Homo-oligomer: A and B are copies of this chain.
Amino acid sequence: MIKKFTLGNPINTEAVVLKADSHSVDTFPFEHRIEDGKFIFEFSMESSDIIYGLGEAPRGINKRGWIYESFCSDDPFHTETKSSLYAAHNFLMMQGSKNFGIFIDFPAKIRWDIGYTHEDKTVVTIDGTDFDIYFIDDNKPIDIVKEFRYAIGKSYIPPFWAFGYQQSRWSYPDETAVDAVIDGYDKANIPLDCVYLDIDYMERYKDFTVDSEKFPDFAGYVKKKKEQGIHLIPIIDAGVKKETGYKIYEEGLINDFFCKKSDGPVFEGGVWPGIVGFPDFLNKEVREWFGSKYKILTDMGIDGFWNDMNEPAIFYSTTGLENALNKAKSLEGENLDLSKFFELKDTFTGLSNNPADYSSIYHNIDGKMVCHDKVHNIYGANMTKAAGEYFEKEFGKSKILMFSRASYVGAHRSSGIWFGDNHSWWSHILLNLKMLPSANMCGFLYCGADLGGFNENATRDLVLRFLALGVFTPLMRNHAALGTRNQECYNFDNSDDFKDIIEVRYRLIPYLYNTFCKASETNDMIFRPLAFDYPDDKLARECETQLLLGDECMICPVYEQNVNGRYVYLPEDMTYVKLSGTNVETRFMEKGIHYIDVALNEVPLFIKKGKKVPLCKPAMRTSLLDVENLEYIEG
């Protein structure tokens, strides 16, 4: 049963599509109060209760024992003590002494103290008094999720080829670089479907432009690549470069389409192109305008995009930088003591994503000026909506690949997400795994992390182990940052090991795509915590290194360096399958604790008794897959 509680006049985020009657929050089932303009509610937890939710967020599948914040943040250090990442997914669910779910539809900050201050208490603080809360009561966690997902509408389904293996880097700036990647994979006989164009393909980082020195005939090049079976996926940033003669900026300016400062002028922030204007995506007219600009690239044959920097990320504002420079000037010649030194240093380090800058931004929502603070968490989602609405109108469903960095519930209907700028850390294999069921709960099915890790240098074994998890994630993309080691598979010793892993992905694509579409259709999850299916099994309840996949499988990636395998817990008898290239080895295993050997070129998978998983033959492109002739591995 889903029940809606409303306080004040909520901003319409369009997260929920279900029409539901509003009840007064006075009847909201948890202890609550209003303090300093904030709505606070709390509930207690027994020690064995599990709290799920918050979608793309730091830490575990079980969110207990931390304070999280809903606040879309461009933060590339996904360490354990962060409170937010790029998304705001305000769904929480308890399994245990009581089973229920809560969705808070509110686009500003929310603080979730889930057993941090007191281990047995969750305290949620909504930073305002205008919101809807949906409360969902059911027996089983999966049913609570399905009811929530029904309320928020069906999840985005990408084109089939988006399940192919994808290679990215900041950046492959020109034709030569892109060709080298395709050539490298082809020569190593490793399948590949997409190559990404990070910011350097553009002319001076201007959205919807292509640098004609790097790509003299972009449309022709895109066509040629498509003939090779390769999709090029360009990045689109939220900010529009301020430049005289740049048509999109000038259109935005004339039409009053950019976010403003309270006192009238356009808010100017520095991002990749230098100073930009931020399109006011909360305004429908702006969305239509910006969405239609994607046509410039689709007309050249592009059929996939990634939307970035849309939290929005702001390196500095002109005002902030001016203040910092003035501060530096005022200290000239002074004998700085330590506090003055740190004040100065902090002024410069604090220029990026500065709260004061966000507070100075204003949106035009239905003719009313609204401070950015009140709607921060739906800015990125509305950029995605701008594109999604255009694509669906122009091309229909499942034709264009799109995923975004920032997101809010509702964006799952028109887009996927990737988990942002992670690191080449072993711990980020597990972080990737843990985010999958949490994202699924919130409607985001097409998702994945940067395999091999984005920031810093990866080791060969890390990339292999990361990819072996990525075999199962809908988005299977290897991506690495400027200045890091070349992370393309063919650049490592003995690339056959990589071929063995990625071929397994291609063999599984019919199964994975089918599981994906079914999950979207039935509001189901692709990845479930073991506790969903085995609520009374103590070891299953606390397991955060394995996931159930569809109705058939359990996955359990190796996530440590210098090991030959891992411990795995089987909550029931299963068949252990080792996949490597076209090799399939199966072995029956009994319920219980086991150690499994997993070589660097192997993908471990467990299949439940009586279930079967189809495999096709591998191919170098998804378009070459023979999805009619399948063999089955039986559990």
Contacts and interface: CB of A to CB of B under 8 A. Distances in A.
Interface of A: 50, 59-60, 62, 64-66, 79-81, 115-116, 118-119, 270-275, 315-316, 321, 324-325, 328-329, 331-332, 335-338, 341-342, 344-345, 348-349, 351, 423-427, 455-457, 459-462, 493, 538-539, 542, 544, 560-564, 567, 593-595
Given A81-B457, A315-B342, A567-B567, 12 more contacts: A62-B562, A64-B562, A65-B462, A65-B561, A79-B425, A80-B423, A80-B425, A81-B425, A81-B455, A119-B460, A321-B336, A544-B560
Contacts of A274: 335-338, 341
A60 B538 contact: no
Nearest to A118: B493
A119 B492 CA distance: 10
Contacts of A316: 341
Contacts of A321: 336, 341
Contact of A344 (B60, B342, B348): B348
Given A338-B315, A341-B315, A542 B567 contact: no
A331 B324 CA distance: 11
A378 to B, nearest CB: 27
A563 to B, nearest CB: 5
Contacts of A338: 270-274, 315
B349 A345 contact: yes
Contact of A349 (B66, B349, B561, B594): B349
Nearest to A459: B65
A80 B426 contact: yes
Contact of A329 (B79, B329, B341): B329
Nearest to A597: B538
Nearest to A204: B337
B345 A562 contact: no
Contacts of A562: 50, 60, 62, 64-65, 542, 544
B332 A59 contact: no
B561 A64 contact: yes
Given A65-B459, A119-B461, A274-B336, A59 B561 contact: yes
A563 B164 CA distance: 36
Contact of A564 (B79, B271, B542): B542
Contacts of A539: 595
17 contacts: A59-B561, A64-B562, A79-B425, A81-B424, A115-B459, A119-B461, A270-B341, A274-B335, A274-B338, A315-B342, A321-B341, A325-B332, A328-B328, A329-B329, A344-B348, A542-B563, A544-B562
Contacts of A341: 270, 274, 315-316, 321
B493 A119 contact: yes
A325 to B, nearest CB: 5
Nearest to A599: B47
Nearest to A62: B562
A538 to B, nearest CB: 7
Closest 4 CB pairs of A and B: A328-B328, A348-B348, A81-B456, A62-B562
A25 to B, nearest CB: 29
Most buried by B among A80, A271, A493, A560: A80
A204 B503 CA distance: 64
Contacts of A62: 561-562
A81 B561 contact: no
A337 B242 CA distance: 11
Contact of A348 (B79, B115, B349): B349
A605 B115 CA distance: 28
B335 A275 contact: yes
A138 B564 CA distance: 27
Contacts of A542: 562-564
Contact of A328 (B60, B325, B595): B325
Given A270-B336, A325-B332, A337-B274, A66 B345 contact: no
A79 B423 contact: yes
A379 B274 CA distance: 43
A560 B427 CA distance: 12
A81 B560 contact: no
Contacts of A116: 457, 459
Nearest to A66: B459
Contacts of A567: 567, 593
Contacts of A595: 539, 593
A275 B334 CA distance: 12
Nearest to A460: B119
A237 to B, nearest CB: 12
A328 B324 CA distance: 9
A426 B427 CA distance: 11
Contacts of A335: 274-275
Most buried by B among A79, A271, A331, A338: A338
Contacts of A329: 325, 328-329, 332
